[in-house]
Chains A and B, each alone.
Chain A
Amino acid sequence: MIRLNFLLLALVIACALGVITSQHQARKRFIEIESEQAAARKIAEEFTQLQLEQSTWATHQRVATIAANQLGMRLPDPSTTTILTLEARP
């Protein structure tokens, strides 16, 4: 009888330790996922910032100014434009 009791006690202790370990493991994993999620958020933030930067560099005013002033480009004059009309193939 006493032997059975000790056996059960040992089992209970083993189970308890198991619970503690798995809980600890779970928390460790959770911390990992949390830090990954934080990293994901940070990357998403960086993405919006880069998007913003891109659209700031690509604003039409800026492109037009650079094209006109630095590259010496201009809009084609209608008189120098040739329009090709599409015709159905014979």
Chain B
Amino acid sequence: MKFEKRTPELRLKLEGWRSRLVLIAAIGGFTVLLGRAFYLQALDTSFLQAKGEARYTRVIELPASRGPVKDRNGQLLAVSTAVESIWAIPDELDDVDAAQLDRLAHALGIDAREIHQKIANKDRQFVFLKRQISPEQAAKVMALRVPGVFQQREFRRYYPAGEVMAHVVGFTSVEDNGQEGIELAAQKRLSGTAGVRKVIKDRKGRIVEDVEALRPPRDGDAVTLAIDQRLQFLAHRELKAAVDRFQAKGGSLVIVDAKSGEVLALVNQPDYNPNNRANVTGRQTRNRSVTDVYEPGSTLKPFTISAALDDHIVRPDTLIDTAPGKLTIGRATISDAHPHGTLSVAQVIAKSSNVGTAKIQLQMTPQRMGTVYESLGFGTAPQTGFPGEAKGLLRPWTRWRPIEMATMSYGHGIAVSLLQVARAYTVFTNEGMLLPLSLMRQDSHPIGKRIYSAATVEQVNRMMEMAVMPDGTAPQARVPGYRVAGKTGTAYKPENGGYNEHKYVSSFVGFGPVSDPRFIIAVMLDEPSTKHFGGDVGAPVFSSVMGAALRMMSVPPDAPGTLNVQAPRTGAEG
């Protein structure tokens, strides 16, 4: 080395401690390394193992699907199927030429300009090009192999029964959360939980080994409703026809199982198609029979009469003087639609006399009637679990004045939902016991709460049967072959603190067959414009729905005299 040659004396100057120092430093350094290696390999093994695993293990999400909604016979009302959402990273679409983008837009079924607009914002890392398309369409889109375009598996909710079930089932948002109806009410049971799983993937991206299932996916539970799709369809068809015929603003119809309190059908007009909600308004999505209250009118009269019979204030044949069809209480006057003269209590119901009912109601204390209304469920939500259930409006009886007491007897000055009225009528089909309502299918019959005595209810039922006779208020409610009973209601609509005497709510609530009730049907039409009496508007709807429902369920006729009945010949094989 040149250095050595020029200055040979330098080598002599090197002292021994310097090389030893280097040696010690080197040994020290290696010791630290060995120590660290020993620590990592033997003492704290998890750190390196985790690092190693991270090179080949992947945590993947396992999607769970939302549970289906079924009717009481297992027919599908709402079901989730897999769809694909196409998304893109805007930055990566920079190099894609216009022709390619056009093809992409074509495959997605959207305008090319829409894509340009969506990917214009380069700051975003993620933009949906189109959500929820069919897997076949997605396959075509992905076949174009446009860089920066990806697909994502999602579930979309479909409603096969469409508008017929719309108000009951409701719908979900694009994120699969319930927004209305059962979808909202049973959100917890219906929604599934996505699972997470740790796996080893090979070079080609195939899963080669399960490391651990961190959380198994759990699909949502199925929900079985009390609704019977056939009855629901029937109710929907008849109600829609009635709303059209009477040019009403809206309407509702509820069918309740007379013995179990299950809601078998619940329809409203106007409705909407839950599969296509582009232009749906709140007017259409509102489940009127549950969330809206109205003044029920004369459909409440049987409750007053029943209480009076229970208290032995009147008997069915007690005579009430309703002449001259007017009654003045304080400064207010109540009146009958047609003046009647002297009527028996039974005729008060059959002919629907406001004056007669008010006179009977005024013989009872506010406390008595207030307690009856409260125990019938007026003023409290029916607790079917349906979202937005109306409580109705029942003012505390401690503050009732006589005029309010009188008007309430024929359903004015009190507001209820149609579902509440239908529920209250379960007392007439269960020997005086009030049943809880249920939207879910029940396997056993619930135990009712006694409101009236069985004897009273039998008498009142006979009065309500008279109401559908030729000289009652609702002969059009009759069903050939069956005994039915019910009560009409025609109420003015409250407006600006008073009543608008040109706007009506017409209703009919009844049940059948009387000998062994199967169904309670409550129908209400909002502002019918061609006719307005409950007997002309609600009763025909009741009759057609009740008749078809009884025949559909093969209920044996209990009034065969009104049909041509042919008994089997004697000795015939039966």
Contacts and interface: CB of A to CB of B under 8 A. Distances in A.
Interface of A: 26-27, 30-31, 34, 45, 48-49, 51-52, 55-56, 59-61, 64, 75, 78-79, 81-90
Contacts of B162: 59, 61
B114 interface: no
B349 to A, nearest CB: 27
A61 B233 contact: yes
A86 B565 CA distance: 12
B187 interface: no
Nearest to B158: A52
Interface stretch (B173-181, B202-210, B340-348, B497-505): B202-210
B568 A52 contact: no
Contacts of B568: 84-87
Interface residues of B, number: 39
Interface in B526-574: 547-548, 556-557, 560, 563-568, 570-571, 573-574
Contacts of B326: none
Nearest to B233: A60
Given A61-B164, A75-B548, A84 B566 contact: yes
B161 interface: yes
8 contacts: A31-B206, A55-B161, A56-B160, A61-B162, A82-B564, A83-B481, A83-B556, A83-B557
A30 B164 contact: no
Interface stretch (B6-14, B79-87, B398-406, B508-516): B79-87
Interface of B: 75-76, 79-82, 135, 158, 160-162, 164, 202, 206-210, 229-230, 233, 237, 480-481, 547-548, 556-557, 560, 563-568, 570-571, 573-574
Interface SS of chain B: mixed
B81 to A, nearest CB: 5
Contact of A64 (B81, B237, B570): B237
A59 B160 contact: yes
Contacts of B206: 31, 34
Contact of A82 (B208, B210, B565): B565
Contacts of A60: 161, 164, 229-230, 233
A87 B208 contact: no
A86 B557 contact: no
Nearest to A35: B206
A36 to B, nearest CB: 12
Given A45-B81, A52-B160, A78-B481, A87 B567 contact: yes
Nearest to B482: A78
Given A27-B208, A59-B162, A49 B81 contact: yes
A88 B572 CA distance: 10
Nearest to B200: A27
Contacts of B564: 79, 81-82
Contact of B547 (A30, A64, A78, A82): A78
A31 B208 contact: yes
B80 A48 contact: yes
Contacts of B237: 61, 64
Nearest to B134: A49
Given A34-B206, A48-B80, A83 B563 contact: yes
